[in-house]
Amino acid sequence: MSKSPIEEVRNALNQWFDAFNNNDIEALMAVYDPEIVYANSAKPIEIGIPTVKAGFINSFAIQPKVFFKEEQAIAVDGLGYLAGQFRVTGTNPEDGSKVEESGRVVVIFRKNDAGEWKLVFDMDNRPPDVTI
């Protein structure tokens, strides 16, 4: 039995989580579309895998782990959208203190010609109503 487009998009996002939580930069970049646009609320917009990769290499210094609570999912005509709350935890390598931030994220996946769902847009913010 084949998976629904929503299940396929969730599976692609789970691949992202696995790679991120294992701090595996190559597996993480394999989830991204070459035309990725990453809009993190704490830094300027990043476009393309090389730019996004450099940012994540720096982020991995804290050995981050991410937790996610889905709020909405839609998939139609080769595009999939997921939105939800996230919390990232890690350890500051300089002093061993705990690092933690939370917010809301919207990700858009596009199905490529090979039938793979790739992350093409990733945007997060830090609103006050996040509960995880």
pLDDT tens readout for residues 70-121: 999 999 999 999 999 999 999 999 999 999 999 999 999 999 999 999 999 9
Token duo for residue 61: 């210094």
Residue-level pLDDT at 132: 81
Q: Residue 123 contacts by C-beta under 8 Å, 6 or more apart in sequence?
A: 38, 39, 40, 105, 106, 107
Give the bridge partners for 117, in sequence order.
Answer: 111
pTM for the structure as a whole: 0.93
Q: What is the spatial distance between Cα 53 and Cα 84, in angstroms, rounded to a whole number? A: 23
Residue-level pLDDT at 2: 81
Residue-level pLDDT at 27: 98
What are residue 97's phi and psi, to 5 degrees?
-75, 155
Query: 63: helix, coil or strand?
Result: coil
Domain spanning 5-125: which CATH class is it, in words?
Answer: alpha beta
